[in-house]
Structures are given as structure tokens and as C-alpha cells.
Amino acid sequence: MTSLAGEIYVLRPKGCDEVEVYDVITYRLQRCLDVPNLRGVADMTSCEHYCCIYISDGTVECIHRLDAQGAATQWPVYDRPWGLSVNAEHNLLITCRRARKIKEFTTDGHIVRTVGLPGDVINPWHTVQVRSGQFIVCHGGSGDAVHRVCMISADGRHIVHSHGGQLGSDTGQYNGPVHLAVDNDEFVFVVDMYNRRVTLLSPTLYYVRQVVSSDQLKWRPVCVYLDTHKRFLYVAENELKDVKDTAGRVVVFSV
């Protein structure tokens, strides 16, 4: 889920017409876009500068790129891609969970650099780069002892700040921190999937408050998009049955 040029884009893997485009005011469906050869959806983001949408495909290990008219291209990542974001240089940041790397690409698929992550950052899900050049990374998968959000130096070598640690459901803990959003003041919104909540952290990753609680959600939150102008937080949540996502919706909160 993301937005571009006053429209909301929602990804629904279903074989064809996978991207649904909604009006940002009325939330009415405007059109559907097909993504050829899309097989293993992980994340989606947008770039206003290049007026395009990016989708990570973990099965094919590639990025699908859609322009505003729906024309699709794709290019390889040479690692399994997961979370996506766009940095201040309008380049695409790709979090590679298995390789424990951040890869930066231009909009036409040329690699800029690869950043390795510290050894104790296991199963990274999503990365956002802040103005200082440092990275905010959320990590921790099933079976991992540590689930947290880290601020990592621009060279990827050091953890500068962190929030979380031991797996759990208390205020300072996470159970599946899988997606991030950062506002203009660099406060961080964290999707805590299995605790079914969204946590707000300060720019130095101190706990501020819960902005979305489990009582406000029906299923598991999987990703978040922040409209920094309207201060709307869009949370996508999915229903899981028999290890399959069987339903989903987007819930909008004023923050």
C-alpha cells in the first residue's frame, strides 16, 4: 500500500489486476493495474519524483516498476527482496532479509551500493533512511530471540540507537516489527504484527505511545503508509487462516 499523485495504491495478489487504485478523498476504486509475471509479493512503495510504483517480488528476486499509466518493467535484485522505501536521492532502498543487506538502486535498476548490516541484526524486514544518512531498520522473525527497531550508522557497521529486545508484548517489546513509516520530524511509526499494534518512537527511538492498539484492528497489521501532509496513517491488515491470507483491508487513522 502506498500513494502517488493523489491516489492510493493497494496491492492484492490475485493473478491479474493486482494493483487497485483508489481516490484519496472518496476512497472509490478508480482502476486496476496488472503486473506481468508477479509471483511473490513482499512490499510496495512509490516515488513522486519519478512518478512510479515499485513492488518487491521475493519469488523471482526482482523489482517490478509501474509508471503512472500502468506500464510495467522489472529488473533483478540478485537477492531475495523484502521491504522497500525511497530515500532523499530518489533511489530505491531494498531490504534483503536472508542476505541481511540493504541494496540501493536507481529508478532504472542500476545498483548504487550494498550496505551490510551488523551481525546481531537478524531477519531485517524494512529500512528507511533519515536525513543524517543513517538507517532505521526493524528486525526479528519467527524463532528469533531479539525483535527490535535499530538506528544504524550510514556505513551499516554500528547500531547507534535501538528500541526493543527480547520477544514479548510489553511496552518496550515487539513480536514481529515488520514495517516502518517516518514523518517529517523523523518520528518513527512501527508495525508490530503479532502484537497487533502500531508504536510511535522518537527520532532517537525512545518510546512515545501506541498510536494504534489491537482494539482498533481486526486482523494482523502488515504494513503502514503515512500521508505526511494530511497526517493520515494507513494501516493494511490481513486475515490469516490455514497459513494463508484470506481477507484484508486498509484502516485509516488521523495522527
Query: Do residues 250 and 219 lie in contact, with contact meaning Cβ atoms separated by under 8 Å?
Result: no
C-alpha cell at 224: 503502514
What three-state secondary structure class fits 225? strand
Report the top-level CATH class of 50-254. mainly beta
Q: Give the pLDDT confidence score for residue 242 in this predicted structure.
A: 63
List the chain domain ranges. 50-254
112 Cβ contact list (under 8 Å, min separation 6): 91, 104, 105, 106
**Average pLDDT of the residues of the chain:** 94
Sign of the torsion angle spanned by Cα atoms 247, 224, 232, 23: negative
Alpha carbon separation from 181 to 38, 87, 205, 224, 242 (Å, rounded): 25, 12, 13, 7, 29
**What is the rounded CA–CA span in Å between residue 233 and residue 250?**
10
**pTM for the complete prediction?**
0.95
Q: How many C-beta atoms lie closer than 10 Å to residue 76's C-beta?
A: 13
**What is the rounded CA–CA span in Å between residue 108 and residue 91?**
10
Q: Give the pLDDT confidence score for residue 49 in this predicted structure.
A: 97
C-alpha cell at 66: 509501474
The pLDDT confidence band at residue 27, using thresholds 50, 70 and 90, is very high
Q: How many C-beta atoms lie closer than 10 Å to residue 125's C-beta?
A: 23
pLDDT in tens, 55-91: 999 999 999 999 988 899 999 999 999 999 999 999 9
Query: Do residues 151 and 161 lie in contact, with contact meaning Cβ atoms separated by under 8 Å?
Result: yes
Query: Do residues 198 and 224 lie in contact, with contact meaning Cβ atoms separated by under 8 Å?
Result: yes
pLDDT in tens, 242-254: 656 667 899 999 9
C-alpha cell at 89: 536521492
Q: Give the pLDDT confidence score for residue 112 in this predicted structure.
A: 98
Query: Do residues 176 and 147 lie in contact, with contact meaning Cβ atoms separated by under 8 Å?
Result: yes
**What is the rounded CA–CA span in Å between residue 173 and residue 161?**
15
pLDDT in tens, 112-157: 999 999 999 999 999 999 999 999 999 999 899 999 999 999 999 9
DSSP designation for 117: P
The pLDDT confidence band at residue 16, using thresholds 50, 70 and 90, is low
